[in-house]
Every structure is written in structure tokens, then in C-alpha cells.
Copies of this chain bind each other. A is one copy, B any other.
Amino acid sequence: MLGSIELGGTKIICAVGYEDKIIERQRFDTKNPLDNIKEIQEFFKDRDVTSIGIGMFGPIDVDKDSKTYGYVLKTPKLKWQNFDFLGNLKKHLDAKMYFTTDVNEAAMGEYELGAGIGKKSLLYLTIGTGIGGGMIYNGEILQGVTHPEMGHIEVTREEGDDVKSNCAFHENCLEGLSNGPSIEKRTNKKGEDLDKDDKVFDLVSKYIAKALITYTLILRPEVIVLGGGVINKDGVIEKIRKHFVKLKTDYFDIDDVDSYIVKPKLSNNSGIIGGFVLANKLEK
């Protein structure tokens, strides 16, 4: 059996299964790293897994040649900063482990068993409290020196949009202008409490569409999968598609935008199933 862990900013999911079958799963709140490692260990210790795929909120060190491989890096979650997650987990669990970001894990799930079936390349983006992306190309996670930070690319502000960015580093990045909290900041309401036709969704969709144009020009994926809380709001993906078609001009062709920009086929399980896919790579 295969193991899978998805570590997000607020919750951690552990599961066992194979392919797209989740046999058992358990959810924990994200607290401090040592307590969470104990819970993870408890979950897996009586379940016979030989390999575990791990998707972790970033930034993390994914360079196997690095002295800090498996560490959490400069995260705003201070308890996790510079914590040797993989090393500590390995002390307590005897299994092979594939360590990558949460978005890369979800991207891999969608690539192998979801929206990417039959395709050679797929870009997965999560648009929620944070914005991040993972690109799978010919079955492999694309990462150079380290994993990408696609959510932090600059987008040009729309006239009159002078809200303060939600990113501590960038006044004009996609995450700072289009994540969940930016919607709240502009409207003083939670996204789920807003009318789906509130103009804030049009604005945010336009920023996301701008970023999708940039990703397309650089990566040319066969499909872009959008997950995360902002995308779950009724009508948002349609607004993104509409802006995308307008912004791309005649410069490049996309046969069918509805099948180019899609929601996850594995719904909320892209990450966990991606963990099985990654674990399975270690079995070979």
C-alpha cells in the first residue's frame, strides 16, 4: 500500500491507498511541527506502507544535494521556519519518501489520474489564501534550482485599484492582489458571503487571467488546472476564461478555452492522489 501526506497551512491530511483509491484518511490541524509529526507517525505506524508521497506548503528545500534538503524555509509560520521536516519524519517512520510542494503534489495527481490524462504537460495552480503553481512536463515535476513561486509574478494593476497588497514582499504580485484575503480587504466581507456578481470577482479574475497568459507564453502547457478557494466561488472560472480570451488577442490560438482552463478532475483529492503517484515512483 502507498502513503500520502498533504500539508497545508491550516490542515494536514494523511492517507493510505493506491492509484486514485483512498482507503483510509485522517485530518489534523496544522499546529507545531513536532506535534504534527507525532500525529503523522501514529497514523502510519500500523498501516503497512513502503513509500510515502509528501506535498508540503512552501517554501521548502527540494534540492537533494543541499544540506537543508527536506527543510521548511522562510515561511511566515515561524514555528516551522528552518525545521527539518523530512529528517524528523524519517527518524520516526521507516518508508521511502518523495518530498515536494503541495502544489506539485496536486499537479502530479491531476497529471496522471485527472485532467492531464493523455497529455504531456499540465500546469496546476491553487488560488486561495496563497497562490502557487506546479508544472508537470513529460511526467516530471519542473524545478530548476528549487521549486517555482509562480504566485508571486508581477501583474499590472488595473486603474483605480489601489488596495494594499497582501504579499509582504511584492506590492503588485498575483498573490498580493488576487488571493482570498485580498478579496476580503477590498470588500470587508468574506468571499463566500459576497454576491457572485460582485465586481471584485471580475477584478480578481482579470489579474488571474493576466498571469495565465504569462504562464502560457512561457510554459505552453496543454492544460491549466485551477484549484483553491477563490476558484470554488460560483462563476469565477468563467470570468477568468472570458478575460483570458480577451487578453490573449490574436497572438496565439487556444482551440477551446473551456478545456484549456479547467477545475481539478479529482476535486479536493488532487493532492492526496498525487501523493500516491509520487510514492509509486519510489516503488519502481
Contact = CB atoms under 8 A, between A and B. Distances in A.
B220 A145 contact: yes
Which of the listed residues A146, A169, A249, A251 has the most CB atoms from chain B within 10 Å of its own CB? Answer: A251
A172 interface: yes
Which of the listed residues A140, A148, A215, A218 has the most CB atoms from chain B within 10 Å of its own CB? Answer: A218
A220 B148 contact: yes
Interface stretch (A44-52, A106-114, A150-158, A233-241): A150-158
Contact of A219 (B170, B218, B222): B218
B210 A154 contact: yes
Contact of A142 (B142, B170, B215): B142
Contacts of A220: 143-148
Contacts of A170: 249, 251
Interface of A: 120-121, 133, 137-138, 140, 142-150, 152-157, 169-170, 172, 210, 213-215, 217-222, 249-252
10 contacts: A137-B137, A137-B142, A142-B142, A142-B219, A145-B220, A148-B217, A150-B217, A153-B217, A156-B156, A214-B218
Can you list the 5 inter-chain pairs with the closest CB atoms, starting with the nearest? Answer: A144-B220, A121-B144, A169-B251, A156-B156, A153-B214
Given A142-B219, A148-B220, 8 more contacts: A120-B144, A137-B142, A138-B140, A145-B221, A150-B218, A156-B156, A169-B250, A170-B249
